[in-house]
Amino acid sequence: EAQVTQNPRYLITVTGKKLTVTCSQNMNHEYMSWYRQDPGLGLRQIYYSMNVEVTDKGDVPEGYKVSRKEKRNFPLILESPSPNQTSLYFCASSSGGGTGGAFFGQGTRLTVV
Amino acid sequence: GENVEQHPSTLSVQEGDSAVIKCTYSDSASNYFPWYKQELGKRPQLIIDIRSNVGEKKDQRIAVTLNKTAKHFSLHITETQPEDSAVYFCAASLMFSGGYNKLIFGAGTRLAVHP
């Protein structure tokens, strides 16, 4: 079954404690991205990756890092989380450089206290 | 930069009525326009999309229309059912140098279908 898998689904953490949200896809897609979803703001892109070892900033990259060492995995790293990073996060993958049907992961609800 | 505006932000209809959600985009180079449905507590899922060389596309009760001149596109849902209740997002794909296309999302429309 084609899917994008994120972990964890829910996470409560304290300010400043490094965390990683994992994302894995089994569709051999080249393009992957991370979004955060906040009420009234829709989906805003944090980082994207066009292929292995190729990543770039999206619209709201501050406070986040990513890596793309393998085609299937695209983890999101928060080195020092802050309360304003409390949000719902989605990983997505697609073929064709970001066009075509984007497949989203199940989402990670992060709370930073 | 590219901007996608979506209206209305909330929409309430009676079961069986039609629902229309409209989006406008700012960059005339945009060439791909998907629509996503997000049910409560779930991930966004692609329900229909349209490319810039097509004016209309239908899939059962769902249709999307595109007016490139006016730079707007719309989602039409006919014979609405309670299970159509969800948040709907439109998006426009902006081409960057190097062949990379970025999806810019609208803020979403919360559709409620009342029995």
- pLDDT digit string (tens) for A55-75? 989 889 999 999 999 999 999
Do B100 and A105 count as a contact with CB atoms less than 8 A apart?
no
CA B90 from chain centre, in angstroms, equals 3
Out of A97-111, B25-39, B55-69, B76-90, which region has the weakest mean confidence (pLDDT)?
Answer: A97-111
- pLDDT digit string (tens) for B20-51? 999 999 988 888 899 999 999 899 999 999 98
Do A42 and B105 count as a contact with CB atoms less than 8 A apart?
yes
Determine contact, residues A29/A35, Cβ cutoff 8 Å. Answer: no
Residue A40, burial from CB neighbour count under 10 angstroms (0-12, 13-18, 19+)? exposed
- Measure CB to CB from residue A98 to each of B49, B101, B105 and give the nearest one: B101
- Measure CB to CB from residue B46 to each of A58, A102, A106 and give the nearest one: A102
Q: What is the mean pLDDT of residues B56-71?
A: 95
DSSP character string of A41-106: TEEEEEEEEEETTEEEE-S--TT-EE--SSSSB--EEESS--GGG-EEEEEEEESGGG-S-PEE--
Residue keyed to tokens 């595109």:
B66
Determine contact, residues B23/B73, Cβ cutoff 8 Å. Answer: yes
Q: Chain B closest CA to A85's CA: distance in Å?
A: 19
Q: Chain B closest CA to A29's CA: distance in Å?
A: 14
d(Cα B55, Cα B97) in Å, to the nearest integer? Answer: 26
- Measure CB to CB from residue A41 to each of B42, B43, B107 and give the nearest one: B107
- pLDDT digit string (tens) for A16-25? 999 999 999 9
Q: What is the mean pLDDT of residues B78-89?
A: 97
- A39 and chain B in contact, CB less than 8 A: no
Determine contact, residues B39/B104, Cβ cutoff 8 Å. Answer: no
Do B89 and A42 count as a contact with CB atoms less than 8 A apart?
yes
Tokens read off for B15 = 């079961």
- A36 and chain B in contact, CB less than 8 A: no
